[in-house]
Amino acid sequence: MEVKELIRAGRLSEARKLLTEEVKKLPGDLGRRTLLFQVLAFSGEWAKAQSHLEIIANQDRKKETGVQVFKNLVGAEKQRGEVLKLKQRPSFLPGSPRYAEEYFSAREKLERKMIQEAAELFAKIDAAQPVVSGTLDGAAFAGFKDTDSFLWRFLEAMVYERYMWVPIESISELMIDPPKTLFDLLWIPARIATWEGLNIHCYLPVLYPESFLHPDERVKLGRMTDWVPLGGPFTRGVGRHVFQIGEEEKSILEIREVQFKPSGSEEKHEKNN
């Protein structure tokens, strides 16, 4: 079976093994090496993925600009892993929301299985914020959040080499490109406009953090979503990002255009230093 057929069949480990053998035999075949980079990225092997990008750029200088885009995304993924492990905080765009400290306190309590205390803090934050409303591809909704309890009120974004969180209430418009390539099933191009007047072209990670650790290769490839119980009502997502939009759940790749309505009391953000 050919590599692309293996990937289409969801057999990621077999595709990785076959590609590794083929690239060793044909080190100058940039098509195979590029595909191996993608498979390594789905597998979360960031150091190896980056080394193949370096080789591609060295073998064909015309590809340096494109390679730099993916080097940036790999760097942002490494930051993402540190944020997930609570070793560092994300950068916020356009700035830290007022509830940031309470949010991180709630998240730490959830990590320590202090479920009731975490629930009280999350509820306090939620009660103080306006309900986000707008239209999704022309259809009205009230309420927009990530189904992952850790991400919840934030949209993950990668702006150049930086991993960032965008508070959903700070967004005035979100446009997500339709997927066209295998790369787009990892990082999908998007445009975010904020109430503060920023207009950012970026990439959104299609998969939840560390989905590559899940034993089911359908989850690793983002063909399904699973939720890991964290205690009480809280869950952590693995696989493809899913948002609760009004009464519906929508995967990130089902969303094209979101126009948010001003609440009349948009969250003011403190600018990061």
Helix, coil or strand: residue 168: helix
Residue 212 pLDDT more than 70?
yes
The pTM for the full model equals 0.93
- Whether the CB-CB separation of 219 and 12 falls below 8 Å is answered with no
Residue 272 pLDDT more than 90?
no
Over range 60-79, report the average pLDDT.
96
Express each pLDDT in 102-124 by its tens digit.
Answer: 999 999 999 999 999 999 999 99
- Whether the CB-CB separation of 83 and 107 falls below 8 Å is answered with no
Class of domain 3-84: mainly alpha
- Whether the CB-CB separation of 154 and 166 falls below 8 Å is answered with yes
Beta bridge partners of 229: 235
Residue boundaries of the structural domains of the chain: 3-84, 91-260
Q: What does the pLDDT read at residue 269? A: 43
Helix, coil or strand: residue 204: strand
Confidence band, pLDDT 50/70/90 cuts, at residue 263 = confident
Beta bridge partners of 159: 162
* Bridge pairing between strands 257-260 and 171-176: antiparallel
